[in-house]
Amino acid sequence: MTVGHFNAIQTRRDFLDRCLGGLGVASIAHLMAAEGRTGAVQANPLAPRDPHFAPRAKNVIFLFQAGAPSQMDLFDPKPTLQKWHGKSLPPSKTKDLKLAFIKPTASIFASPRKFQQYGKSGLEFSDLLPYTAEAADDICMIRSMHSEAFNHHPGQLLLMTGAPLVGRPTVGAWTTYGLGSESSDLPGFVVLSSGRGTSGGSSNWSSGFLPSTHQGVVFRSTGDPILYLSNPEGVDRQLQRSTLDALRDLNEEHRHRTGDLEIASRIASYELAFRMQTAAPDLLNFSEEPTHILDSYGIENETTRQYGTNCLLARRMVERGVRFVMLAHASWDDHTEINSKLKENCDKTDKPVGALLKDLKQRGLLDETLVVWGGEFGRTPMAEMRRPDDADNAGRDHHPDGYTMWLAGGGIRGGQTIGKTDDFGLSIVEDPIHINDLQATILHCLGLDHTRLTYRHMGRDFRLTDVGGKVIEQALA
């Protein structure tokens, strides 16, 4: 083969086609098909798709409290800790403990919080969560969550992807892969962030090996919802439309040559961004919201403004058909000064969460919107003392066994508590619920069988729940 001839071969496909008489191309096609990367291109890859069975919910709002909120200071009171405050755990309780920073001999740290029963159901909430507690009869509290991971990034990966490994699709991506989205002008999976940023970062909303169409799109609560969404000066809508048409034609030609559906995702992203230039500013325009609604979310209050804005945006998004909205608030990682830091985070988030649940219910949206609240694990009943001379410096270490998350809305029977931990809050004594069980239940509420929602990758079928997961039947309405 001459140099000139070699230079004329522009792609590996050209090379294999000329050298192997088409056999190489057929082999590539077979391999790409096995990876789900060939086939007909949908005009809208996020077009709504039928679920496996009748759904209980249409949308999800995941209130991700990154960093691990303390369950025994918020949801799971442990009076026994008062008797043991300042003492070490009995030796029988320290076997097989997974601890990140402290030793099993660390002193017991009783919660100073006051708990009260709320609603007809009598669910117990700490005095730090009075607004969320008003929705007690709509909330299903799970006190027996457990995870294998006791460090933040693996824990967040397990919560969001079903495995503590980078590169897997997240629950939001799996949801839009299975169901598409009912919104044609906004992404199917949107992320709203507040606080200091999550340990897992963008891996918490990644599409992994799924087409990138399904990854979460991060919105900002002020200014342009997405950076660079507005046209630069001198570029009007007609010029942008003609530019996108030219790009689409070039990308289609390239896709036809390579068979790579990721190019189709790129085309779809450009088109969605074009439509969003009209839809997104309207989404952020709160001028038509009644004053009492803005006040309930705390939009005008400096403490609650950011999280309240995100909660109100979440409601407006599900109204517009966005399938999955994640609110990522960080950080609840209170290794020190937990009494003051926990109050600070609750002051920021509790009122907006209570308003969101009430607002959804008043609008008839709670029945079709599944709301999930929680972090990657919980916290220990023992104190972490980084400055032993300062009692106010006390915090709590990571604890992956027996922590609390809650569900409300679409398909969930509220006003109940599932699971129970021992008197110290160390281990589960009733109804253990694994992260994969939670994921299976989220998909079930959306009408998806977690064992059937699969994607072929690297020679095998993957799913959100990895090789585990069972639906939490007692949580369902």
Each residue of 205-262: pLDDT tens digit?
999 999 989 999 998 755 565 655 666 666 566 655 666 666 666 766 766 676 666 6
Least confident of 46-55, 195-204, 349-358: 195-204
Distance CA 475, CA 418 (A): 8
pLDDT tens, 70-105?
A: 999 999 999 999 999 999 999 889 888 889 999 999
pLDDT confidence tier of residue 170, bands split at 50, 70 and 90:
very high
Separation in Å, CA 20 to CA 24, 408, 473: 6, 59, 56
Q: Which domains does the chain have, with CATH numbers?
A: 50-223+284-475 (3.40.720)
Tell me, what's the pLDDT at 4?
45
Q: Reply yes or no on whether the pLDDT at 196 is more than 90.
A: no
Helix 171-179, helix 152-161: angle, nearest 10: 10
The set of residues, in sequence order, having a beta carbon less than 8 Å from that of 325 and lying 6+ positions away, is: 59, 60, 61, 62, 189, 190, 191, 192, 313, 314, 317, 318
Tell me, what's the pLDDT at 282?
83
Tell me, what's the pLDDT at 33?
47
- Mean pLDDT of the 54-58 span: 98
Q: Reply yes or no on whether the pLDDT at 10 is more than 60.
A: no
Separation in Å, CA 121 to CA 185, 302, 353, 407, 412: 40, 33, 19, 15, 14
Tell me, what's the pLDDT at 271?
57
pLDDT confidence tier of residue 361, bands split at 50, 70 and 90:
very high
Q: Reply yes or no on whether the pLDDT at 7 is more than 60.
A: no
**Are 217 and 251 a contacting pair, CB within 8 Å?**
no
What are the tokens at 250? 């070039």
| Coil, strand or helix at 234 | coil
Distance CA 158, CA 289 (A): 37
What pTM was computed for the model? 0.86
Tell me, what's the pLDDT at 284?
86
Distance CA 307, CA 329 (A): 8
Please give the angle made by the CA atoms of 335, 326 and 60, to the nearest 5 degrees: 125
Count Cα neighbours of 403 within 13 Å in the Cβ-side half-sphere.
Answer: 30
Which of 20-29, 231-240, 271-280, 436-445 holds the top average pLDDT? 436-445
The mean pLDDT of the chain is 87
